[in-house]
Amino acid sequence: MRKYRRFELYLNLNCNQKCLHCFNGRALRAAGKELGFSRLCAEMLRMRAKGFDWLSLLGGEPTIHPEIQKLVALGRKMGYRRVMTYSNGLKYADREFTAGMKKAGLTDTCLSVHGHDKRLHEAVTGVPGSFEKVLQAIENLKRRKVEITLILVLNALNKDKLKEMLRFYASKKIKRYMIFFLKYQGRLIESGSAAKKLMFRVSELGETLAEIPALAAAEKIKIQNIEHVPHCVVPENCRGLIAGNDYGGAEMVIQSGELLEVSRSHKGFLFKSACRACRYYRACAGIDPEYARVFGLGEFSPVK
């Protein structure tokens, strides 16, 4: 399979949803600024010249950037073989917008979903009707032959429904998935009791995760990776799916304009002294310090 070099570009900080676990904090959201169009184009061109051939556009919500279709089109003209958005799907519920993105050259999108029914999904998004819209987005993108990967963001409300979620979306012919654990930053730690209902101990999911490879094989779907969790609390048969601290060698532009290797974005994560003895130490992203403040470090131990 072809090996791509992936460049991640954060277009904005504003969003059209109000997800309780949004990792953009209050100060960032209030700033709401966007990198200028000329700066975005310059970074895209510079990284293309370095050999990057997969452009991922993120936010905030990248699809609400006023120049999103122009940026997609320019990315393809520059020679990026794949152009992807990471999105909540609301804009893709509009058939004309989806058609315009495909015409501009969009090849892939990742859609974040939080459940397989209205109650679970909208408990997180805070937007009535967002579940129906993400389902419509899936149909619109499939119709335009845009490759879809679903990001299943786990929380205390949906973690025990992971298998049901995978079966539900597999029935809609979605083949590729990523499983995200919560990032303990931004709105998740700023929203008090409203967000606390989403928090759970990552070790609680071990038994369910252990069944996922077999379920994936039965449903003929692919779990591409598991993110934001140390190897030691994941069953052995799932550890090869953990993205670790390199995310495929991608680089990204963060909102300050600093070019940053993604592996460096984990600076500040914790490791117990015993972690150095773990066979996954060099690949592990570490323990979120805010998670440790809430739940402690007792569930983490080195894999010999």
The structure's pTM equals 0.90
Q: How far apart, in whole angstroms, are the C-alpha atoms of residue 262 and residue 249?
A: 7
Q: 220 lies in a domain?
A: yes
**277: in domain:** no
CATH at 186: 3.20.20.70
Domain carrying residue 69: 6-267
pLDDT digits (tens, 9 = 90+) for 248-274: 455 655 444 555 554 444 456 889 999
The radius of gyration computed from the CA coordinates of the chain, to the nearest angstrom, equals: 19
Beta bridge partners of 260: 252
Has residue 296 been placed in a domain? no
Question: Tokens in use for 6?
Answer: 């992936």
Burial of residue 228 (number of CB atoms within 10 Å: 0-12, 13-18, 19+): buried
CA neighbours closer than 13 Å in the CB half-sphere of residue 23 = 11
For the chain, the domain total comes to: 1
- For residue 243, the model assigns a pLDDT of 74
Instruction: Look at residue 303 and tell me if it is in a domain.
Output: no
21's tokens: 């676990």
120 lies in some domain: yes
Residue 276 lies in a domain: no
Residue 92 falls inside a structural domain: yes
In a domain, 179, yes or no: yes
Contacts of 15 (CB under 8 A, 6+ apart): 22, 24, 29, 59, 60, 61, 64, 88
**% residues pLDDT > 90 (the chain):** 69
Q: Are 215 and 227 in contact (CB under 8 A)?
A: no
Render pLDDT for 194-240 as a digit per residue (tens, 0 to 9): 788 999 999 999 999 999 999 999 999 999 999 989 999 999 999 99
- Position 24 pLDDT exceeds 50: yes
